[in-house]
Amino acid sequence: MDRTFQSYGLVLNNMDVTPSTATTTTKASTSTSFAVVINTYKRPEMLRDAIQHYADTCGKKFGVGQVFIVWAEQGVQPPDPDSFFSTPTLRSASSRGASSASSSTQNEQSNRSDLVVLQTPKDSLNSRFLPIDNLNSEAIFMVDDDVRVDCSSLYNGFMGWKAFPDTMVGYYPRLAKIRNPHDVEQKGRDKDIVYHTWPVVFFRHRFNLVLTKASFLHSKYLKLYSDDSHPQEIKDYIDEHMNCEDVAMSMLIANHTNNNGAAAYPIYIEGSVTDMGLFGGISTGSGHMMTRSTCLSVLTKVYEKHGWEYPLTEDVSLKSRSWLRHFPGFWWQIKPGNVFEWPSVGNIFS
């Protein structure tokens, strides 16, 4: 019954912001498509499956205009784009003198998004945020090669981003909170930031960032992340620890919008998400929660060194910043993208 009475949009300042009203109530984007940017490393079968999902299964009919692969394997020639598909693209088939494809094959290929491999100059997590030439849209969907967002959920995320293009719109909400803020204010101690996952986000009903393992953002933030205005100490820390580039992007966007007079709080997209790397990624390690908390604290010191405030000070209501709205609208109706978000209980009492 709940699905029968679902709708999409936010209620801000007593104003109903939905996909159809966003252009008149907010500074919305006019983009009609978006680019999927897949971060991958030495997982060819996982990558192939990801490309087929986003470029073929979803493709143009769900707004995916282009798919880019971030190829960071140094000294390894990336595969030909056509090798990721069971049938070559129409232009490739034609160039090889192939006979006319069947109607079903032609329909499949006409829906296929353009695929481009981006070879990066170094093996670095920062490389996923390098500016991209020949983008056809200002909208980017960043995703890891082991995450599959259902096509309808993906399109709903794009609609949410179009309404609020200056913010991050994603499927993995997180909460970063200062531990013992009284000690920071009264005793002048350094900020100790604690990283919280879905269980805390849900029960406190607050969040202030979304992960770039599956999120929409504006292409302008790639330039901001990569240029000299973004402290090199942050990028060096990420290279040294092979972690936290997503946290760094969230902090950058929050800092940029805070300092430009219009804080752009993140939006959570409740959808259907499959995480195929649950039992093998860096987020499953025993020290992951401590690593993330330490990262937040270290990056905060860098921000303060440069004269900026901690950018994630304000957290927002999960209900008010959720694009999917349930009827009758109880807080507990909001769900995670997949059930495996629930067991992540580290730092739950911090």
Predicted local distance difference test score (pLDDT) of residue 4: 46
Over residues 127-167, the pLDDT tens digits come to 999 999 999 999 999 999 999 999 999 999 999 999 999 99
Q: Whose CA is closest to 176, among 202, 204, 208?
A: 208
Predicted local distance difference test score (pLDDT) of residue 102: 64
State both tokens at 124.
């670095």
Over residues 233-280, the pLDDT tens digits come to 999 999 999 999 999 999 999 999 998 878 899 999 999 999 998 765
Beta strands in the chain (DSSP E): 7-8, 10-12, 15-17, 34-40, 64-71, 114-119, 139-144, 147-149, 169-170, 173-179, 192-196, 206-207, 209-210, 214-218, 267-268, 273-275, 316-317, 324-325
In angstroms, the CA 49 to CA 55 distance is 10
The pTM assigned to this predicted structure is 0.91
Residue 295: band (very low, low, confident or very high) from pLDDT cuts 50, 70, 90: very high
- What's the Cα-to-Cα distance from 280 to each of 53, 251, 277, 326, rounded to whole Å? 21, 26, 5, 34
In angstroms, the CA 172 to CA 3 distance is 21
Q: Which helix (H) or strand (E) holds 156?
A: helix 151-163
Residue in the structure block whose two tokens are 């694009």:
323
- What's the Cα-to-Cα distance from 164 to each of 22, 29, 48, 131, 321, rounded to whole Å? 8, 8, 31, 21, 11
Residue in the structure block whose two tokens are 């910043």:
321
One-letter amino acid for residue 183 of the chain: D
Residue 5 has pLDDT above 90, yes or no: no
Predicted local distance difference test score (pLDDT) of residue 279: 66
Over residues 62-73, the pLDDT tens digits come to 999 999 999 999
Over residues 172-209, the pLDDT tens digits come to 999 999 988 766 665 557 889 999 999 999 999 999 99
- Weakest mean pLDDT among 46-60, 93-107, 261-275: 93-107
- Backbone torsions φ then ψ of 3, nearest 5 degrees: -65, -30
DSSP tag of 237: H
Kindly give the residue spans of alpha helices, DSSP state H, lying in 164-244.
Answer: 181-187, 198-204, 220-226, 232-241
Residue 99 has pLDDT above 70, yes or no: no
Predicted local distance difference test score (pLDDT) of residue 109: 83
Q: Whose CA is closest to 247, among 305, 179, 168, 306?
A: 168
Over residues 24-43, the pLDDT tens digits come to 445 889 999 999 999 999 99
In angstroms, the CA 87 to CA 117 distance is 18
User: Average pLDDT of the chain?
Assistant: 88
